[in-house]
Amino acid sequence: MMRKLISVVWVIAAVCTALQTVAAPKNFIIILADDQGYGDLSCFGSKRIQSPNIDRLASEGMRMTQFYMASSVCSPSRAGMLTGRMPKRVGVPRVLFPHSTTGLPPEEVTIAEILKTKDYATALVGKWHLGHQKQFLPTNQGFDSYFGIPYSNNMSTSPDLAVAKNVKFAQGWTADKLKQDLAAIKADSKSRNNLAPLMRGNEVIEYPVDQSQLTKRYTEEAVRFIHENKDRSFFLYLAHAMPHVPIFASDAFKGSGENPFCDSIHEIDWSVGEVMKALKDTGLDQDTFVIYTSDNGPASAGSAGPLRGRKFMTFEGGVRVPTVIWSPGEVPAGVVCDEMVSALDLLPTIAGYVGAKIPVDRVYDGQDVADLLAGKTGTSPRNVNYYYQATQPDIDGIRVGDWKFLHKGGRNRKGQKPRTFEPMLFNLKEDPREKNNLYKSNPEKVEELKKKMNEFDASIK
């Protein structure tokens, strides 16, 4: 199968480039876990978590060992994945909250909007976290339908959210109590924790949602969407709330693991199995591209496996995530890919599969990696990864090939104190755990990487 390879668009052009495709996948499913670490699947070495359905995807597809998110926290990583552009470039460099007034700008083009140009049915089931005002919601970003929570499950509702007339209240909440609380939130700009609103379309339909049922309900919604669109090309973005804190699982999975964190991933693995069953039942299992990944590294309960660091950090454990890609006939079975790939690459790759045009009035940071996924080349077109701080729009590091440089003087997770570590230089091929700092012994390499890092950052200010 021949296909043009999209190169990174570094300059503004006046026309769009059409991409050639032959016998590409018809449907696309992105399954995203929340705060799941590199070591939190059995196919990535976990001894405490059993993930047979995701393991099967890996054995029938490709396991990616160096797959990066564009950030180590929720909102920016999702913005980068859906647009193929760095979070700072699209104006979402940090986490959004119920009191935030910004979101993913409507003029940004998402994967869903690219696929709408090819008449795809599109749905988001799950967590959005790219702005909760109406103009930022999924239905204004290319998704035909939306069912889920607008931000992290440890957050609450907002005065900006429309409430359905037939909203279902729980846990003692009433319309009057919600009205009073929303007025208080508007007055003090403080959100209430762990009271997530469930939305359908642009309205809150349940408050607060029973989080123990979220994974189950998301799965049912996803399966229903697949069956309803079995005769039409579709894009399903299934963004789970778990295992982000507070961690929940339904009764069927409580106690299935050594702790609630493991329970929640066991249920997500079940969910993957249900989605795959739906594809088989509808005869779409040979026509669908499925990727399973996580938005960033683990929080306190998860594991980054052999990698250093976690969520909020620019060490590998914060941004390198467990990823499996499955696409019969397109992605060879049982392959382990050690090449560098980014979630930024999904948009241009999917556009290439369907022969869609991507706007060239903007800079894209993603690249088409279809030839790598198909096994036509053993080398990724991506040789560089940039690391940005989680709480500030400041660049923190760069990786070129095997060499990684981390800058001095970032902020901690609350943006309050400078980090105390000195600048760091690692050779990730020889030292994947980032233990041996080569900064002082390789001044020329440091200057080379620092120069490239600063030039890139300056180009998007």
Rounded CA-CA distance 306/434 in Å is 10
Q: DSSP secondary structure string, 174-238?
A: -HHHHHHHHHHHHHH--PPTT-PPEEETTEEEEES--GGGHHHHHHHHHHHHHHHTTTS-EEEEE
The DSSP H or E segment spanning 63 is strand 62-64
Which residue out of 43, 129, 240, 244 is catalytically annotated? 129
Task: Tell me how far CA of residue 109 lies from CA of 27, 42, 141, 170, 223, in angstroms.
Answer: 19, 35, 7, 37, 26
Give the closest residue to 272 by CA, choosing from 319, 218, 353, 336: 218
Which structure tokens are listed for 379?
A: 């080398």
The alpha helices in 245-399, defined as continuous H runs, are: 260-281, 316-319, 346-354, 370-373
Q: In what order do the strands lie in the sheet with 424-427?
A: 384-388, 395-400, 403-406, 424-427
* Catalytic member of 74, 240, 266, 337: 74
132 in catalytic set: no
Do the strands 335-337 and 162-169 form a parallel or antiparallel pair, or are they unpaired? unpaired
> Torsion angle of alpha carbons 14, 19, 25, 31, nearest 10°?
-30
Query: ∠44-45-46 over CA atoms, to 5°?
Result: 105
Query: What DSSP assignment string belongs to 376-442?
Result: S-SS-S--EEEEE-SSSS-EEEEEETTEEEE-S--B-TTS-SB--PPPEEEETTT-TT-----TTT-
Count of other CB atoms within 10 angstroms of residue 403: 18
Instruction: Check the CA dihedral 181-182-187-188 and report its sign.
Output: positive
Length, in residues, of the chain: 461
d(CA 453, CA 384): 10
**Packing angle, helices 260-281 and 52-60, rounded to 10:** 50
* Residue 407 designated active-site: no
Q: Pairing state of beta strands 198-200 and 162-169?
A: unpaired
Active site residues: 74, 129
